[in-house]
Amino acid sequence: MDKINQTFTSEFLLLGFSGYPKLEIMYFVLILVMYLVILTGNGVLIIASIFDSRLHTPMYFFLGNLSFLDICYTSSSVPSTLVSLISKKRNISFSGCAVQMFFGFAMGSTECFLLGMMAFDRYVAICNPLRYPIIMSKVVYVLMASVSWLSGGVNSIVQTSLAMQLPFCGNNVINHFTCEILAVLKLACADISLNIITMVISNMAFLVLPLIVIFFSYMFILYTILRMNSATGRRKAFSTCSAHLTVVIIFYGTIFFMYAKPKSQEFPGEDKLQTSDKLISLFYGVVTPMLNPIIYSLRNKDVKIAVKYLVNQKAIQ
């Protein structure tokens, strides 16, 4: 009985940025503004992709999925982070932590696959334009998006279940501002080798494989663009790919820092490193979803036209 009581944890304490109390108000305002931009920007893209018939194409269908994913991901963690910053209430229940971990991992895994699907879509559109309507039919691209969501959810169920069934002896302080899986694993008082192995396999499947698809897709795209005789055609091809490629670079640049090399234990003198990990996680969790609609709006003429049309329609009403 004593052993059971020792290993049961009913709640966790999120440390967040408590080591910098004077900066917490600044963080609160900054994160709140970015969260509102995320909701507004991604919400507008979703509405535009649904109601503007010019955007009823595979590329914008994937973009709408990406925007919905960004809203879900940030909404699973940002509100609780804002509450902890303003009210100093940093505790989170065991079940609440599991839910937050599940959504965070599921959305991240799904986004990896979606970005790979979008790269493949651009490859078919530019390298096989005549066969594009056949290859990327509605059934195909809906199935591709469904596979992305389903695989991301299954991966997250596996990772979250393995993490939350571990025993946590005494220490329930998570040195993070969300229930991030690597931070939670550091609290376990049992062997986490199985967790590390499954995370490595997950990294290969959800980070490396989509990145390979993206790399080869853009190699073929670049080869095709360079062979085009028309300068206008080359500019149009580059413009349709530049927004997606920018998002890929930002996304993978931050996520590789977080998950490519999982750590199983803490070492002395890691405080500065942990703070930088938190900032990288914040960038991935808030800044990237905020930049996505901005990048696609600025770099895509069709989105600009659709958004202006919706704004004008709203103004007339």
pLDDT exceeds 60 at position 268: no
Residue range(s) defining the domain that contains residue 183: 11-259+276-308
121 contacts 62 by C-beta, under 8 angstroms = yes
Q: Is the pLDDT of residue 6 over 80?
A: no
2 in a structural domain: no
**Domain count along the chain:** 1
Bigger pLDDT: 288 vs 160: 160
Per-residue pLDDT tens over the stretch 215-255: 999 999 999 988 888 777 778 777 778 888 888 888 888 77
Give pLDDT, residue 273.
47
CA angle 236, 240, 242 (to 5 degrees): 110
Kindly state the tokens that stand for 44: 């507008």
**Is residue 4 situated within a structural domain?**
no
CB 243 within 8 A of CB 295: yes
For residues 173-182, average pLDDT: 82
Position 315 scores a pLDDT of 59
Which two structure tokens, joined as six digits, stand for 69? 């994913």
pLDDT tens readout for residues 37-89: 999 999 988 988 888 888 889 988 999 999 999 999 999 888 888 888 887 77
- Is the residue at 315 inside a domain? no
* Alpha-carbon span 290 to 299, nearest angstrom: 15
In a domain, 269, yes or no: no
Q: Determine the pLDDT at residue 313.
A: 64
Task: For the chain, give the mean pLDDT.
Answer: 83
In a domain, 154, yes or no: yes
d(CA 35, CA 55) in angstroms, rounded, equals 25
Where does the pLDDT of residue 194 fall: very low under 50, low under 70, confident under 90, or very high at 90 and above? very high
For residue 293, the model assigns a pLDDT of 84
Q: What is the pLDDT of residue 264?
A: 42
Residue 48, both tokens: 């535009």
Q: What is the pLDDT of residue 314?
A: 60
Where do the H-state alpha helices sit in 204-230?
Answer: 209-226
Which CATH number do you get for residue 288? Answer: 1.20.1070.10
Q: How many Cα atoms within 13 Å fall on the side-chain side of residue 303?
A: 24
Say which range, 61-75, 200-214, 280-294, has the weakest mean pLDDT. Answer: 280-294
